[in-house]
Amino acid sequence: AMSDDDQERQHFRKILAAFRHYRRYGLQQVADKLAQYNGLPERHKRLMGGNSGVPEHLARVRASIEHNAEMINLFIADANSIFDGDSPLSPCAGSEGSSSVQHQQLQVTSNDMDKVRSTIKQFARDWSLDGANERALCYEPMLREIDRLFSAENCPDRSEVRVLVPGAGLGRLAWEVARLGFSCQGNEWSLYMLFCSYFVINRCSEPNCFTLYPWVHQFCNNWSWADQLRPITFPDVSPADLPKSGSFSMAAGDFLEIYTEPEAWDCVATVFFIDTAHNIAAYVETIGRILKPGGYWINLGPLLYHFADVPGEASIELDYATLRQLVLGSGFELLTENTDIRCGYTQNEASMLRYEYRCAYFVARKPLRCGHDAE
């Protein structure tokens, strides 16, 4: 059996392999579509606008995919340095095994490609003007609440207030919290997200210096070809633009494994995160443990359980009423609750298809200890 370190290196290499496969995957998709078009009767091609229609569009799609692939090369250029040389996540640690077993396990699946494509869409949500609407719906309520709970009257020195954002994705919410002057840490498990957040935060020195085509793989529900080819520029702000006080960091790894220190955080902010659990009760328990007495948990999101229906993965799927009971039973008091915040997630504004979540939003407080209640 592989050691944990070997497994982590294997996982690391698999994610890199998926990113590197993007170009071939995308161009194959286009080649298949062109072949299907070329097989049509000439009269149908004529009716579709002949050579000024589909083939020209597919050529532009191909060029956009090539551009995305160039960007991906930049995203993964720093992969090895993201984790220190002695970290098990670093592929240079230990010897590189090249047994056939490892090569078989590096097969890139269509599921891996879905993850690469959705990571590209995360740039639109987190770091482009296209995502401003989603950020206003998802992040603004959080930021307003944190700003209010730790106002200047309550907290003269915000840099001493520690805020944790688990499931931080590409890091925008955590960055916004740090921009308010707090000490904020984002935590992310997905290497897809970590490689890309590292790039945005450490390699983007000025606003709108890079371009991506996040919708280029969406061949359906387009009003016009131009919508599929719509570029975004990122980042819409300069990531270096943080106040001198406070701090901002990203931590890689599993939320339950990393955050074990009791009473270490003043606030935990979870957006579209709690349903990524195998067992949501373990998340609630950990949040309760790591918060200081009197600390706050702010949550917003649906219950699209991440591991539901994934073969071989455990998943406990609670309804909201039971989750609410679990939160209260874990000792939290609910200060605020709104069960109808409507928002999308990496939504293509120009598409004929819109997904909308009705999210639950709540602010919960861990009680201050009474004298006899010490653990």
For residue range 249-302, list pLDDT tens digits in order.
Answer: 999 999 999 999 999 999 999 999 999 999 999 999 999 999 999 999 999 999
Task: Write the pLDDT tens digit of every residue in 309-340.
Answer: 999 999 999 999 999 999 999 999 999 999 99
Global confidence as pTM: 0.92
Tell me, what CATH number does 22's domain have? Answer: 3.40.50.150
Residue 371 lies in a domain: no
**What is the mean predicted confidence (pLDDT) over 102-123?**
86
**Spatial CB neighbours of 235, under 8 Å, sequence gap ≥ 6:** 127, 128, 200, 204, 207, 208, 209, 210
The pLDDT of residue 112 is above 90:
yes
> Has residue 374 got a pLDDT over 50?
no
50 has a pLDDT exceeding 80: no
Give the model's pLDDT for residue 98. 39
What is the per-residue pLDDT for 302?
Answer: 98
SS (H, E, C) the chain: CCCHHHHHHHHHHHHHHHHHHHHHHHHHHHHHHHHHHHCCCHHHHHHCCHHHCHHHHHHHHHHHHHHHHHHHHHHHHCHHHHCCCCCCCCCCCCCCCCCHHHHHHCCCCHHHHHHHHHHHHHHHHHHCHHHHHHHHHHHHHHHHHHHHHCCCCCCCCHHHCEEEEECCCCCHHHHHHHHCCCEEEEEECCHHHHHHHHHHHHHCCCCCCEEECCCCCCCCCCCCHHHHCCCEEECCCCCCCCCCCCEEEEEECCHHHHCCCCCCEEEEEEECCHHHCCCHHHHHHHHHHHEEEEEEEEEEECCCCCCCCCCCCCCCCCCHHHHHHHHHHCCCEEEEEEEEEEECCCCCCCCCCCCCEEEEEEEEECCCCCHHHCC
Q: What domain range includes position 171?
A: 4-80+107-366
Does the residue 99 lie in any domain? no
pLDDT of residue 103: 45
Asked whether residue 95 is assigned to any structural domain, the reply reads no
* Stronger pLDDT, 292 or 10, i.e. the higher one: 292
Is the residue at 89 inside a domain? no
Tokens of 34: 């062109």
Is the pLDDT at 63 greater than 80, yes or no?
Answer: yes
| pLDDT for 343 beyond 70 | yes
Mean pLDDT, rounded, of the chain: 92
Residues 216, 222, 227: CA angle, nearest 5 degrees? 55
Using the CB atoms, write b or e for 329-368: b if 16+ within 10 Å: ebebeeeeeeeebebbbbbbebbeeeeebebbbbbbbbee
pLDDT bracket for residue 357 (50, 70, 90): very high
- Residue 347 pLDDT > 60: yes
Counting the structural domains of the chain, the total is: 1
Closest CA to 75 of 128, 114, 135, 22: 22
Rounded mean pLDDT, 190-213: 96
Give the pLDDT confidence score for residue 246 in this predicted structure. 84
Determine, yes or no, domain membership for 102.
no
pLDDT of residue 3: 87
* Assigned domain for 375 exists: no
From CA 199, how far away is CA 204, in angstroms rounded?
Answer: 7
Length of the chain: 375
Has residue 373 been placed in a domain?
Answer: no
Write the pLDDT tens digit of every residue in 125-178: 999 999 999 999 999 999 999 999 999 888 889 999 999 999 999 999 999 999
pLDDT for position 84: 53
Give the pLDDT band of residue 105 (cuts 50, 70, 90): low
* Residue 29, pLDDT above cutoff 50: yes
Q: Please check whether residue 86 lies inside any domain of the structure.
A: no
